[in-house]
Homo-oligomer: A and B are copies of this chain.
Amino acid sequence: MAKEITNRSEDYSQWYIDIVKKANLADNSAVRGCMVIKPYGFGIWENMRDQLDRMFKDTGHVNAYFPLFIPKSFLSREAEHVEGFAKECAVVTHHRLMNAPDGSGVVVDPEAKLEEELIVRPTSETIIWHTYKDWINSYRDLPLLINQWANVVRWEMRTRLFLRTAEFLWQEGHTAHATRQEAEEETLKILDVYATFAEEYMAMPVIKGIKTANERFAGAEETYCIEALMQDGKALQAGTSHFLGQNFAKAFDVKFLNENNQEEYVWATSWGVSTRLMGGLIMTHSDDQGLVLPPKLAPTQVVIVPIPKPAPEIDEVAEKIMRELKDLGISVSYDTDMRKRPGFKFAEHEMRGIPVRLGIGKRDLEKGVVEVARRDTKEKASQPLEGIAAHVQQLLTDIQQNLFDRAAAFRAEKTVKVDSFDDFKAVLDQDIPGFISAHWDGTTETELKIKELTKATIRCIPLDAEEEEGKCILTGKPSSQRVLFAKAY
């Protein structure tokens, strides 16, 4: 079988695009920057979404749905917010098409101009806080713990499937609280949900941290994030949780009567993860043979391949194994396609990242064994038919753990402490740079200068950073803790 995808060592970006396309995850569409998420890719996203949704509900959140459109004037209410989003938004100006008077086709009807332009939501703080004004009167109405699964649009100039697209799917939580403390706790609670999801389901280790003022969400008092390290040594911001203070409550005049009958502005948070996580999943685990999926998110966890093709005695065993696996809650399929040879099928299932493959041949059956191949290590072994379902169940657990351990070991190897700007640049010049833990003087000026000189940005101030006296790698000014730098997606 012809080599289908570029090697990572040759061209990581091309490898990524090859995986996304050849594993049937997504494709570009006829609309600039917008993607089509194909059924297989969408199946993985559904698993991620459903698990996150359970975790949000387990922490007391409910779902709702707010309008796609935001009146232009709403964006302007919060000064930093409009600054952050006005430059890249899709604007609806008309509500009708007509046949061109000259017969040249269909054109916008100039008489169907909207009184006020509508923005396709880039994020929903403004329309939601406008709504909350009607919903919140008293402390009895609080907290509001609402999430929405939706599509949003940001008119990005440079797009990349899943990682940065003009339209993407996400969830956005928008909560309202009576006190600063409660809102801050919510912000951190969600950060923990995101970190748990990333590590336990995606098998993707993450650093929890705080963004610098410069990287903060437009309109937030504090932005918390989880940051992951991709195989090419670049960081990926995988989720953010914002403490919004009273900024949006003030912008939309949302007050409540507290228990002492006094009016106060409401405290807010917002938080989101998106289809960008699909990019993180791919770039954390996959290899030169294709996608590698953690078992907990794989739409198909086990595939059975008859060798060399279906036959009554093989089908019988396969069906028995399928029943046993399904009883254990394991998703399994039996590849009965007569037109393809086993080797071709193996390559296909590797490309799709199916965690475990069972090969069943007649000679194996005579010996009472099947061949078990794991996708993560590519190890193969003969395994007794007796007890095969329990073996596969344990193997899926092992694979999930191994993927996490491997990614954690990679990150540990690629995280270095650096104390001079020369060393800093030397690390960034490596093929696979990674995270750099270094001192910084705390100013936006220095942060931007370092970015200009090296393209590296401060990913976060880790929540578990220890106090340590040191000097800024660029300016030599005093610093009390290290921050995490990296080149990033």
Q: Which residues of A contact B (CB under 8 A)?
A: 27, 29-31, 34-39, 42-43, 46, 62-76, 82, 86-98, 105-106, 108, 117-120, 127, 130-131, 134, 140, 146, 150-151, 153, 155, 167, 169, 339
Interface pair B95/A31, CB less than 8 Å apart:
no
Identify which of B38, B97, B118, B155 contacts A31 (C-beta below 8 A).
B118
Identify which of B67, B106, B169 contacts A34 (C-beta below 8 A).
B67
Q: Please give, as numbers and ranges, the residues of chain B lying within 8 Å of A120 by CB-CB distance.
A: 68, 92, 120
- In the complex, residue of chain B having the shortest beta-carbon distance to the beta carbon of A130: B30
Interface pair B153/A68, CB less than 8 Å apart:
yes
Interface pair B68/A167, CB less than 8 Å apart:
yes
Identify which of B31, B64, B90, B151 contacts A70 (C-beta below 8 A).
B31
How far does the alpha carbon of A146 sit from the alpha carbon of B62 in the complex, in Å?
28
- In the complex, residue of chain B having the shortest beta-carbon distance to the beta carbon of A115: B32
Interface pair A65/B29, CB less than 8 Å apart:
no
4 tightest A-B contacts by CB?
A: A34-B67, A86-B97, A39-B62, A37-B65
Q: For the complex formed, measure the closest distance between the CB of A120 and the CB atoms of chain B, giving whole angstroms.
A: 7
Q: Please give, as numbers and ranges, the residues of chain B lying within 8 Å of A146 by CB-CB distance.
A: 39
Q: Please give, as numbers and ranges, the residues of chain B lying within 8 Å of A118 by CB-CB distance.
A: 31, 90
Q: For the complex formed, measure the closest distance between the CB of A73 and the CB atoms of chain B, giving whole angstroms.
A: 7
- In the complex, residue of chain B having the shortest beta-carbon distance to the beta carbon of A339: B140
Interface pair B94/A65, CB less than 8 Å apart:
no
Interface pair B105/A97, CB less than 8 Å apart:
no
Beyond A64-B39, A65-B36, A65-B42, whether A108 also contacts B93 by CB under 8 A is: yes
- In the complex, residue of chain B having the shortest beta-carbon distance to the beta carbon of A144: B39
Interface pair A30/B127, CB less than 8 Å apart:
yes
Interface pair A31/B63, CB less than 8 Å apart:
no
Identify which of B68, B89, B98, B134 contacts A151 (C-beta below 8 A).
B68
Beyond A34-B68, A62-B42, A62-B43, whether A91 also contacts B89 by CB under 8 A is: no
Q: Please give, as numbers and ranges, the residues of chain B lying within 8 Å of A36 by CB-CB distance.
A: 64-67, 131
Q: For the complex formed, measure the closest distance between the CB of A335 and the CB atoms of chain B, giving whole angstroms.
A: 15
- In the complex, residue of chain B having the shortest beta-carbon distance to the beta carbon of A43: B62
- In the complex, residue of chain B having the shortest beta-carbon distance to the beta carbon of A117: B108
Identify which of B37, B97, B153 contacts A75 (C-beta below 8 A).
B97
Interface pair B72/A86, CB less than 8 Å apart:
no
Identify which of B38, B94, B134 contacts A91 (C-beta below 8 A).
B94
- In the complex, residue of chain B having the shortest beta-carbon distance to the beta carbon of A98: B86
How far does the alpha carbon of A64 sit from the alpha carbon of B39 in the complex, in Å?
5
How far does the alpha carbon of A150 sit from the alpha carbon of B69 in the complex, in Å?
15
- In the complex, residue of chain B having the shortest beta-carbon distance to the beta carbon of A39: B62
How far does the alpha carbon of A95 sit from the alpha carbon of B91 in the complex, in Å?
6
Interface pair B86/A95, CB less than 8 Å apart:
no
Q: Could you show 5 A-B contacts with beta carbons less than 8 Å apart? A: A68-B167, A72-B108, A91-B92, A91-B108, A92-B93
Identify which of B29, B88, B105 contacts A131 (C-beta below 8 A).
B29
Q: For the complex formed, measure the closest distance between the CB of A172 and the CB atoms of chain B, giving whole angstroms.
A: 14
Q: For the complex formed, measure the closest distance between the CB of A54 and the CB atoms of chain B, giving whole angstroms.
A: 12
Q: Please give, as numbers and ranges, the residues of chain B lying within 8 Å of A68 by CB-CB distance.
A: 34, 120, 151, 153, 167
Beyond A39-B62, A68-B120, A167-B69, whether A87 also contacts B93 by CB under 8 A is: no
Q: For the complex formed, measure the closest distance between the CB of A123 and the CB atoms of chain B, giving whole angstroms.
A: 15
Interface pair A30/B65, CB less than 8 Å apart:
no
